[in-house]
Amino acid sequence: MLVNLFLWPGLGSWQGGRRVSGALQMAVSLLGAGVALVWFIRLLLELLRAIQGTRAEPSDLWRLAFTGFGLVALAWLWSLVTSLALLREAESEE
């Protein structure tokens, strides 16, 4: 559960035997992190332009931030649900 929630969403699911779910969770979290990284780079570039006084039209950076962090949150919540299911399975087998 700790690996799934704090290291990389999906990795703990993968290790717990939920291969498809784990792979999809890892893919969603990577995609979200990539989009968030693009948002951060574009934000820095826009701030640099504002400092230089060459800012162009208003941007839609909020959409990138919402999408990126939303995908990471989705993967994290999905991995939480999977972790809880794996814990319940382990308890029932005892």
**Closest to 82 (Cα-Cα) out of 17, 6, 7, 32:** 17
pLDDT in tens, 14-35: 998 999 999 999 999 999 999 9
Q: How far apart are CA 14 and CA 10, in angstroms?
A: 6
pLDDT in tens, 33-88: 999 999 999 999 988 888 888 766 667 889 999 999 999 999 999 999 999 999 99
Q: Which residues contact 24 (CB under 8 A, 6 or more apart)?
A: 10
SS3 label, residue 58: coil
Q: How far apart are CA 49 and CA 71, in angstroms?
A: 28
Q: How many domains would you assign to the chain?
A: 1
Name the residue with tokens 């839609």.
60
Per the structure, the complete domain to which residue 48 belongs is given by 2-93
Cα Rg of the chain, angstroms: 18
